[in-house]
Amino acid sequence: MNDLVAAYKEVRSSTAYLSLGCNLGDCAANLAAAVNKLNEEPDIEVTRVSSVYVTEPVSNLRQPDFLNIAAGLKTTLQPFDLLHACQRIERELGGREGRVPLGPRTIDLDILLYEQVEISHKELELPHPRLLERAFMLAPLAEIAPEAVLPGGGSVGDALAALSDQSRVEKKGPLPL
């Protein structure tokens, strides 16, 4: 019976990609903890994790540089359920407390892509509304999924090549998990 349940879940699983970022506290540990918590979710399997990238903040707020990664997932969760799981993990790791838009944070999880799904809702927009404008999202994503097709066509790798964002994005190396 367990084989049947596993086979059913595999058939129903979807591919999603997340951006994870941090610029407060022990960021490498925070990113690793978030990846581990994602993997502990019964309906999520982290299949790929990019290198760590050091990136400059996109806001005019004075704050430290960020560490960013991208993660590829297989999940049986629907988009809103995945969003809620990400928000719960952020709360557990202290990333949603005192959050200032574009400000410093201990952890931030954003859904970049979920299959070819397009959603425009006050709670969730897919693909991420600023994905094609931000190097700190596209560079790690292109590392793990350059061939991923964006809704409306074009690949992640092509989007990165066409990106006009000139902010600093430095690849540092693997995330110690």
Give 106-135 pLDDT, tens digit per residue: 999 999 999 999 999 999 999 999 999 999
pLDDT tens column, 43-83 = 999 999 999 999 998 876 788 999 999 999 999 999 999 99
DSSP-H helix ranges across 13-127: 27-40, 79-92
- Residue 127, Cβ density class (10 Å: 0-12 exposed, 13-18 middle, ≥19 buried): buried
Residue 79 confidence (pLDDT): 98
Residue 108 confidence (pLDDT): 95
Q: Are 175 and 35 in contact (CB under 8 A)?
A: yes
Distance CA 47, CA 158 (A): 22
Q: Tokens for 28, please give them.
A: 């490498």
Q: Are 20 and 69 in contact (CB under 8 A)?
A: yes
User: Which CATH superfamily is 14-172 part of?
Assistant: 7,8-Dihydro-6-hydroxymethylpterin-pyrophosphokinase HPPK (3.30.70.560)
Q: Are 143 and 50 in contact (CB under 8 A)?
A: yes
Q: What percent of the chain has pLDDT over 90?
A: 76
Q: What is the mean pLDDT of residues 156-177?
A: 92
